[in-house]
Amino acid sequence: MVVGPENPTVRSKMTLPDNKWPAQDGRCVELPSGLCYYRTVGRGKPPVVLLHGLANDSRIYGRLQQLLGRSTRTLAPDLLGWGRSKPNDGLEFGFDTIDRNVQQFLDACDLDDLVLVGHEMTGPAAIRWAAAHPARARGLVLLNTYYGWNSARMPPILKVLHAPLAGPVLRRVIDVGKPALARHLFRWQIGRLWGRRTEMSDQLTRMFHEMFSESALARRAFHRINDQLVSQIDANQRRLDLLASLQCPTLVLWGSRDPYLRPHVARQFHRLIPNSHLTLLPDSGHFVQVEDAESVSEAITQFIQGISAG
């Protein structure tokens, strides 16, 4: 069941400088695992599904949706545990949950012949879905993500969370510690990911910290994902052959100033994935879809045009 335009919609309250990121209507779809909220902009084919990363939600794609929506339909879900989505009571978070969320969302929205965009922690889920559903995947776009141990660097805050003594202390600071300290840690870590700091990046950092600090579900999902991170990357490393099995065209679209997922990670994806195209944006960091939304939109639009013509 989709709560659509004929029913009351929930409108994002976010505003950013110069109205560069207009609010858009949202709706919900019922999944076996919970109620999934998503934002949709535009019409046309193929549909483009935008998957967000860790400690944020679909609002990270607000500007990009407005640009892509000029020529095609875009859908950006809040994964269960994040943003406005409501998981069922007792749902166990983790990477398997992300995979199921993606599968269930695409099925519930009856999406086929689609372009799937994965950023950061959702890149592996996007890769696995595209490999398992070659008849449904028109194309795959990878934005500053990872798979196996491809020379990516783990951010400091995640390293500390894995430390035997310091990890539990930091977890407590994040969950129930002094709000000012938790906010400082969040801004320190997220602030390192921007290629350049702007009023927009500062406002987005504040906005996502508010979501993270006010949502026990988001914090629980964050900790569970972090607990599984090393074992999940180990498992991916043993299945690097999955990258070579991808049949759909793939665009590896990367912010070169990401301090952890650096350009050679993108180049390795390009080497391992057949029929892949590599585009590096030299002035953007980890949040390439925000920092250079115009170039990302242009690259994805050209990618879609190319695979449609082929």
Whole-number Å distance between alpha carbons of 163 and 240: 27
Between 164 and 290, name the one with better pLDDT: 290
Q: Establish if 171 belongs to a structural domain.
A: no
Give the total number of structural domains in the chain.
Answer: 1
265 dihedral zone (left: phi>0; alpha: psi -120 to 50; beta): alpha
110 dihedral zone (left: phi>0; alpha: psi -120 to 50; beta): left
Q: Which residue has the tokens 């969370």?
A: 161
Interval 32-50 mean pLDDT: 96
DSSP state of 45: S
Beta bridge partners of 11: 25
Angle between helices 95-108 and 123-132 (to 10 degrees): 50
Q: Establish if 272 belongs to a structural domain.
A: yes
- pLDDT tens for 131-152 read 999 999 999 999 999 998 765 6
Q: Establish if 266 belongs to a structural domain.
A: yes
Q: Establish if 184 belongs to a structural domain.
A: no
pLDDT value at position 169?
A: 76
Phi, psi of 139 (to 5 degrees): -165, 165
Q: Establish if 168 belongs to a structural domain.
A: no
Q: Establish if 271 belongs to a structural domain.
A: yes
CA angle 232, 56, 289 (to 5 degrees): 95
- pLDDT tens for 230-272 read 899 899 999 999 999 999 999 999 999 999 899 999 999 999 9
Structure tokens at 302: 């050209």
307 and 139 in contact (C-beta within 8 Å)? yes
Whole-number Å distance between alpha carbons of 47 and 28: 17
Pairing assessment for the beta strands 25-31 and 10-11 based on DSSP bridges: antiparallel
Q: Establish if 229 belongs to a structural domain.
A: no
CATH of the domain at 58: 3.40.50.1820
For residue 293, the number of C-alpha atoms closer than 13 Å in the C-beta half-sphere is: 16
Domain that residue 143 falls in:
2-9+22-153+240-309
Q: Establish if 201 belongs to a structural domain.
A: no
81 and 110 in contact (C-beta within 8 Å)? no
